[in-house]
Amino acid sequence: MVWGLIWYPYRVLDDLGFSAIHSSFFIFSSAIAVSLFFYPLNSYEIVKKKNFWIYAFVGGVTNIAYALAVIEGELVRVMLLFFLSPVWTLPFTFLFLDEAIKPRHVFAATVSIIGACIILWKPDIFVTKIGLGDMFAIIGGIGFALTNVLARAFHKLSVKEKSYAIWVGVVIIAGLTIFLLSMDLKFNQINLSSMGLFIFVGITLLLITMIIQHGLRLVDAVRASPIFLFEIIVVAISGYYLANEILTLKDLVGGLFIITGVLISSRQ
């Protein structure tokens, strides 16, 4: 539910003059600042471990790609492409968890790819560039699938350490992007309203990250995605009422294929 609604404050901040990169930097900096007081790490030796930084990078890319996607693209379309997880989960599961790939997983991935092709299809698809929102959604989806798999593969990292890794990853990647691309920000844009929104969203993401990281330890990687599919329903409803966005027939049909693929891949 949270991930199905978090797009709204990002768009509000965008209207106030804060890009997705700036918003991600300030929101996750707020999350770290609050967590240092109320949810501190037991030991900072974890920052010397390679897995911490791998998880930080993947988590950082995933969250920033999500923020960029929901600002640049159409909400439900972005979510459907984000959930091409059966396609990406297969190779990641094989590489990092050494789990057997079953025929139904391959079939599920194929069904999901068909769904993505339906959503992305247009007569001049081969001569026009893919939309920014679509591109960021696909990148975020790859990162999301990899995060789900690594959450189980890096079992020696605690929930708290994985949560910190994601927050730190977002702040570092966003900070480097702002510096390298010279993304100037007029500090007179920062007022009580924007600061309050940064802190509110930061605390919300702090709590939801911890909950998700704990939940991902309790379910198989291929079963996590169907649970997250509820996000699409929340996005569809909130997008209709808050952003006046509606599904096209093409998006609906393609979405049904993707959802079917996810459900097939997770079926016991």
Summary mean pLDDT of the chain = 83
Residue type, 160: K
Question: For residue 91, is it within any domain?
Answer: yes
Question: For residue 108, is it within any domain?
Answer: yes
Q: Which domain holds residue 123?
A: 2-36+56-266
Question: For residue 115, is it within any domain?
Answer: yes
Number of domain units in the chain: 1
Distance CA 121, CA 115 (A): 10
**How many helices (H) and strands (E) are present in the chain, helices listed first?**
13, 0
Instruction: Look at residue 243 in the predicted model and tell me its pLDDT.
Output: 84
Q: What is the pLDDT of residues 40-57, one digit of tens each?
A: 888 888 888 899 999 999
Give the pLDDT band of residue 225 (cuts 50, 70, 90): low
Predicted TM-score (pTM) of this structure? 0.83
Average confidence (pLDDT) over 64-79: 88
Does pLDDT of 75 surpass 90?
no
Question: For residue 44, is it within any domain?
Answer: no
- Among 69, 227, 55, 213, which residue's Cα sits nearest to residue 143? 55
Percent over 70 (pLDDT), the chain: 89
Query: DSSP E strands: which ranges in the chain?
Result: none
Question: For residue 46, is it within any domain?
Answer: no
Does pLDDT of 253 surpass 90?
no
Mean pLDDT lowest among 38-42, 66-70, 95-99, 219-223: 219-223
Question: For residue 45, is it within any domain?
Answer: no
Q: Check if the beta carbon of residue 251 is closer than 8 Å to that of residue 79.
A: no
Q: What is the pLDDT of residues 161-208, one digit of tens each?
A: 988 999 999 999 999 998 888 777 655 567 788 888 889 998 998 888
Tokens found for residue 134: 């679509």
Distance CA 259, CA 253 (A): 10
Instruction: Look at residue 172 in the predicted model and tell me its pLDDT.
Output: 95
- Among 89, 29, 144, which residue's Cα sits nearest to residue 264? 89
Q: Is the dihedral of CA 94, 99, 102, 104 positive or negative?
A: negative
Does pLDDT of 99 surpass 80?
no
Distance CA 119, CA 248 (A): 9
Mean pLDDT lowest among 34-38, 40-44, 228-232, 239-243: 228-232
Question: For residue 250, is it within any domain?
Answer: yes
The end-to-end CA distance of the chain, in Å, is 25
Question: For residue 47, is it within any domain?
Answer: no
